[in-house]
Amino acid sequence: MKFKFLFILTVLSQLVYSQINIELKEDETKNWPLIERQKLNSADKYFSNQEYLFARPIYDSLYKKHKSNIYIGYLLGSCSIFDPRFQTNSESLIKAASSIKSKLLDYDYYLGRAYLVNDKFTEAIAQFEAYKLNPLDKDIKAEVDHQIYICKSAISLDKKGVVAKIKNIGAPINTSGSEYTPVFPSNESFMVYTYRGEKSMGGKQILPNKVDEKNGVYFEDIMISYKNERNNWGEPIPINNINTNGHDAVVHISHDGQKLFIYRNVGVGSGDIFMSKLDGANWSVPEKIKGINSNFWEGSACLFPDEKTICFSSERQGGVGGRDLYYAKLQPDGTWGDVKNFGPEINTKFDEDAPFIHSDGKTLFFSSNGHNTIGGYDIFRSELKNGSWTTPYNVGKPVNTSQDDKFYIVSSDGQRGYYSSEKKDGFGQQDIYTVEPGMFGKPTALVLVTGKVTFDNAHVKADILVRSKINRKDYSGTFNSNSVNGAYLVNLPSGNEYEIIYKYQGVTLTKDISTAKIDSFARLEIDAELFSDEYQKLNFAKVDSSAFKSENISDLSLTNEQFLAKYGNSEIDSLFYTVQIGAYKIYENFNYSKLIGLPKALRKTFSDNITRFTIGSFKTLNETNAVLEKAKKNGIKDAFILAIYKGERYYFKELLNQGILK
């Protein structure tokens, strides 16, 4: 069937024989009981169909009863190649059958694959070369040559890996089932991923036309996990409004976390991409995306940060290889059009899949079993420079292995990568792993803008228009805040000037943000407060002046080394410090660009109709002074430290005179 199970039914190329030697089988098992011969027949049918993960447990149960049977051991070892939990034993089981190798058509091939998955690349090459001495048709020979190429690539990349720490994300995400395709919004507040296991909706289901109807499979479901107050992943729950008894697999979430893209196998076996939107706290019923789905398989997709371009994988005709990466542009009617192939720079005659465009809009990660892969799918990276994608490079070990390594995504700050892999230390068939750092090479350069939108002090779903001021074609996107909590999220690439326009019921608010001098990742929090005319008349007094020079109520220089040395680390109950960064009669005139990389700004309007902006709340002067210095480097020259004791502002002389500071 056209649909390819994600990771579960890993199969060898259809070009390899995978044939059972009937004469050898009869000779080796002629004295077996009938029930065991029936089990063997069932396993052999799976083996011939290259459904090794179904065949392996049956062979294993038979081998445990017939340890001396090297023929069954050979079949068990050949199947074990494709399950990371048992790959270590595959080599010895196959080699034990060397005395009957003349009767095993694919002995050299399977031993070569066993060497490859155990990182014995030189030995694998020798075994594949021995296999090529057999009379092979050109397609089978091409497959073997590809395996040799993989081994040579692995050898060449052996000393070119990245310095990264890889960690199994562990419970409660990973289980004895399979977890893969992790996705999350730019702020990593929650994770959505695909799950297959005993908790799958519909339970274990029988597949049509399978040789053994007793062996069903779990279908894919979509799960979600939220980060708790300790920054740990909480217990995952299924998204029941999306999951069905069929296959539902997540492939992407928009950078603002409002649009979820899923894969479904529908119709006569083609795969299509659907989209669900977040409405408050609920996900809408998924709808098929218009413009990129075809009569062929489409299985992965991702949006560029401005949501004007979508990248996806497809097996449609006319590509460079079997599975290629394409991109399409958003049309005025909301559909996708102008579909184009990424071309031979990205695509190969093999398969490319699982694209991910980073929040910076110019870094592409994808998986390929072409290029210079070291086995199965590997993760590659390419950069958008002067309108063209650079030659992809293999990110190397330890991220890539001889197994399938796919669906690599990176946090906005570049500190963490997430992906799914078949590793020998996994909880199940597929597990989700973290990679630190996630972005290899130069650091991420962008500003992650978050906040909440309110209208008359109530959270609303507002339209948020973001566009470049220097060249409006560089970046232009329309987003929405969440209808329940008003939260929004946008990413602003470095080196530009932007305006963010918040709109709700005819009321607008514009904020100008500059990222011209940004050379790394930074955060900026802006709460957009919109008010109706009626609300303002009732609640706000009119003022004449548009600005008010910041007042400094400090009467001691906090840069004085002696003062900081004495009181810098003192902690007093009910005493904390903050940094005042501005005071305005019209608070809309506050310049948020100077807050990039600083704590969230809080504002409060006092009885004098002056709105004061502060950042941070700290227990010690040293912590506060460090933020003060950053604020001054950002150009906030009038910034100073405030002392707050039991809710009241204090002069530092008062703190000393009253014995609060001793």
Q: Do 594 and 480 fall into the same domain?
A: no
Say whether 47 sits in a helix, a strand or coil.
helix
The CATH number that applies at residue 308 is 2.120.10.30
Q: Which residues pair with 370 in a beta bridge?
A: none
Identify the domain boundary among 157, 179, 201: 157
276-316, pLDDT tens digit by residue? 999 988 999 999 999 999 989 999 999 999 999 999 999 99
Identify the domain boundary among 520, 540, 560: 540
Residue 79 domain-assigned (yes or no): yes
H, E, C per residue of 79-132: HHCCCCCCHHHHHHHHHCCHHHHHHCCCHHHHHHHHHHHCCCHHHHHHHHHHHC
459-485, pLDDT tens digit by residue? 999 999 998 887 655 678 899 999 999
Q: What are the residues whose beta carbons fall under 8 Å from the beta carbon of 68, sequence distance 6 or more?
A: none
Q: What is the span of the domain harbouring residue 498? A: 445-540
Q: Average pLDDT in the 544-571 region?
A: 60
Instruction: Give the C-alpha separation, 30 to 638, whole Å.
Output: 92
The CATH number that applies at residue 512 is 2.60.40.10
Nearest to 376 by CA among 395, 400, 393, 358: 400
Q: Do 285 and 338 fall into the same domain?
A: yes
Q: What is the layout of strands, in order, in the sheet containing 507-514?
A: 476-480, 463-468, 497-504, 507-514
Question: What pLDDT does 276 receive?
Answer: 96
Terminal CA-to-CA distance of the chain, rounded, Å?
79
Residue 641 domain-assigned (yes or no): yes
Residue 451 domain-assigned (yes or no): yes
Residue 7 domain-assigned (yes or no): no
8, pLDDT greater than 50:
no
57, pLDDT greater than 90:
yes
Question: What pLDDT does 215 receive?
Answer: 63
**Number of C-alpha atoms within 13 angstroms, CB side, residue 635?**
9
576-619, pLDDT tens digit by residue? 899 988 887 766 677 788 888 888 888 777 666 778 888 889 99
Instruction: Choose the weakest-confidence range: 35-44, 330-339, 557-566, 611-620.
Output: 557-566
115-144, pLDDT tens digit by residue? 999 999 999 999 999 999 998 888 889 989
Question: What pLDDT does 647 receive?
Answer: 83
Percent of the chain beyond pLDDT 70?
90
Q: Do 318 and 343 fall into the same domain?
A: yes
Residue 17 domain-assigned (yes or no): no
Residue 477 domain-assigned (yes or no): yes
Q: Do 568 and 530 fall into the same domain?
A: no
Q: What is the mean pLDDT of the chain?
A: 86
**Which CA distances in Å does 70 have to 25, 36, 238, 519, 523?**
11, 16, 45, 62, 62
Instruction: Give the C-alpha separation, 524 to 210, whole Å.
Output: 55
503-536, pLDDT tens digit by residue? 999 999 999 998 988 888 989 999 999 999 888 8
Prior bond of 238 cis (ω within 30°): no
348, pLDDT greater than 90:
yes
Q: Do 417 and 550 fall into the same domain?
A: no
Instruction: Give the C-alpha separation, 30 to 389, whole Å.
Output: 60
| Pairing verdict, β 378-385 and 363-368 | antiparallel
Core vs surface per residue 650-661: b (16+ CB within 10 A) or e: bebebbeeeebb
Q: Do 407 and 550 fall into the same domain?
A: no
Prior bond of 172 cis (ω within 30°): yes
Q: Do 110 and 27 fall into the same domain?
A: yes
The CATH number that applies at residue 546 is 3.30.70.1070
**Number of C-alpha atoms within 13 angstroms, CB side, residue 210?**
16
Residue 13 domain-assigned (yes or no): no
Instruction: Give the C-alpha separation, 395 to 397, whole Å.
Output: 7
145-191, pLDDT tens digit by residue? 999 999 998 888 877 767 789 999 999 999 999 999 999 999 999 99
Identify the domain boundary among 140, 157, 174: 157
Q: Do 501 and 481 fall into the same domain?
A: yes
Question: What pLDDT does 387 receive?
Answer: 87
Percent of the chain beyond pLDDT 90?
54
- CB contact at 8 A, 506 and 484: no
Q: Do 58 and 38 fall into the same domain?
A: yes
Instruction: Give the C-alpha separation, 536 to 534, whole Å.
Output: 5
366-401, pLDDT tens digit by residue? 999 989 888 889 999 999 998 899 999 999 888 888
Which residue, chain included where needed, has tokens 């890889």? 166
Q: Average pLDDT in the 3-9 region?
A: 37
Instruction: Give the C-alpha separation, 112 to 403, whole Å.
Output: 15
Q: Do 294 and 367 fall into the same domain?
A: yes
659, pLDDT greater than 50:
yes
Q: Do 232 and 293 fall into the same domain?
A: yes
Q: Average pLDDT in the 196-210 region?
A: 76
Question: What pLDDT does 650 receive?
Answer: 81
**Which CA distances in Å does 416 have to 228, 360, 437, 439, 440?**
18, 15, 5, 7, 10
206, pLDDT greater than 60:
yes
- Per the structure, the count of domains in the chain is 4
Q: What are the residues whose beta carbons fall under 8 Å from the beta carbon of 45, sequence distance 6 or more?
A: 211, 212
The CATH number that applies at residue 133 is 1.25.40.10
pLDDT band for 557, please (50, 70, 90 cuts): very low
Question: What pLDDT does 208 receive?
Answer: 60
Nearest to 75 by CA among 124, 42, 123: 42
Q: Do 179 and 241 fall into the same domain?
A: yes
Residue 148 domain-assigned (yes or no): yes
Token readout for 105 is 């058509």
423, pLDDT greater than 90:
no
Question: What pLDDT does 6 receive?
Answer: 39
